[in-house]
Amino acid sequence: MLKSATPVDPRALAASLQELWSPRVIGELDDNYIKVAKVHGELVWHSHETQDEMFFVLQGHLRLRLPDRDVELGPGELFVVPRGVQHLPVAEQECLVLLIEHKATAHTGDTQTAQTRSLAEQLRDIG
């Protein structure tokens, strides 16, 4: 994990990732992790029962499918998925995102798939 002693470029860090849908922690803010990810395709329907999740698009476009609507995000836009709300992140083209999540937030909530990443995996060095 990167320390905040030096400036970081979240977009460059996200672009350097080799794996899709595999967030990496780049910093901490109180009880939250700041993460970046490279995404394409769709993840899985899931929710985080006791934590909100913030998506900020660094590059590309991201659709967050919710039970009652779709939220479309472009570069520089963010959306907070409220705790307990089912959501399905979808990127029709490669997209770079920054996430802010509570340290206790599981990658895909209670849903486990081959795409699910453990916290240990998310804490691995990027380079």
61, 79 Cβ separation under 8 angstroms: no
- Average pLDDT over every residue of 53-76: 98
- pTM of the entire predicted model: 0.91
Domain locations in the chain as residue ranges: 20-122
Amino acid at 59: Q
- CATH 2.60.120.10 is the classification of domain 20-122: yes
b/e map 52-76, b = 16+ CB within 10 Å: bbebbbbbbbbbbeeeeeeeebeee
Q: How many Å apart are CA 116 and CA 23, to the nearest integer?
A: 10
Query: Using 50, 70 and 90 to split pLDDT, how confident is the model at 4?
Result: low
Residue range 82-98, pLDDT digits in tens: 999 999 999 999 999 99
